Amino acid sequence: MKTDTARSVLDRTFSIAPMMDWTTRDYRVFARTLSRHALLYTEMVTTGAILHGRPRERFLGFDALEHPIALQLGGSDAGELAECAAIAEEWGYDEINLNVGCPSDRVQNNLIGACLMGHPQKVAAAVRAMRDAVSIPVTVKCRIGIDDQDEDADLENFIHLVADAGCEVFIVHARKAWLQGLSPKENRDVPPLNYARVHRLKASRPELHIGINGGIKTLAECRSQLDHVDSVMVGREAYQNPWMLASVDQELYGEPGPAATRHAAAQAMRPYIARRLEEGVKLNHITRHMLGLFQGCPGGRRFRRHLSENAYKDGAGLAVYDDALGMVPEVEPETLG
């Protein structure tokens, strides 16, 4: 096993959750124009995609601007996960995270995601194998339980077994996942949030890093949660209302963020967009992640509409992007909070 002293130390105070089709490399670079410190996660990438898909750049490529960045893996075979973790470390990722929270039918059928909460020994074996293979941190993102599991006893047993295998960091979505009877979308909202259970987990296992995820929408809520746990992970709100990220560095890390205005963040994206366009990426693949930047601002709807109606067209380039920006009046630096 690689020594713990060789493992990277990441500041996990605030992170953006892995979200399929949303936390792509283009979104992550956009997020980095708003926060230097937020820990970024990839979409879940399955072991099969890494081991058999080509080119690997499609699944593992990222920009140096994205650091610190974690790769979220989906899988259950310890050997395959260890091999993929080693590949990811070679590619330069700062952390490997195992998905034990996704409730979709498709991943369940491959023993991926939340269903693994019913197989804690398998998760423990996977963690042990990955830790043996890499020197970067291996972490787990899980739920507080699935279906009829006991939120106290079964979660305690899961954490105990996986921690004994060497996992020191757990990010816990504070909801159960109901694999029978609820859709993946319903699983994000219908099961009640139980923040108190995650708080009790931290109190009972103070030596572990316990992060919390689920339903958190403001930095005030983040600060409140940090009174009870070690870190906070925000998902849909960070994507749909990206300007909230512009306050993260100041509010949670005590340092000014990289963008004083929304226009400054948009301008900071221009060199990256130009580079990606030269690589053959279509403009809308990048700008679809930025549609919420001017939410609530004069001209914000025109900005969104112009990109939605034009960025997908063949040959759409920076002129389309600049025209959209021109529809939003520039304002003085905003007071963030």
Cα 117 to Cα 124: distance, rounded to the nearest angstrom: 11
Q: Is 84 a catalytic residue?
A: no
Residue 141, SS3 per DSSP = strand
Q: Which of 84, 102, 167, 222 is catalytic?
A: 102
Helix ranges, the chain (H) = 25-32, 47-52, 57-60, 78-91, 105-108, 120-133, 153-164, 184-187, 195-204, 219-225, 236-240, 248-253, 262-268, 270-278, 283-287, 300-310, 318-325
| Cross-strand partners of 276 | none
Distances 178 to 111, 170, 279 between C-alpha atoms, Å: 15, 20, 42
Q: How many residues does the chain have?
A: 337
For residue 87, report the phi and psi dihedrals to the nearest 5 degrees: -65, -45
Number of neighbours of residue 241 by Cβ within 10 angstroms: 16
Residues labelled as active-site residues: 102
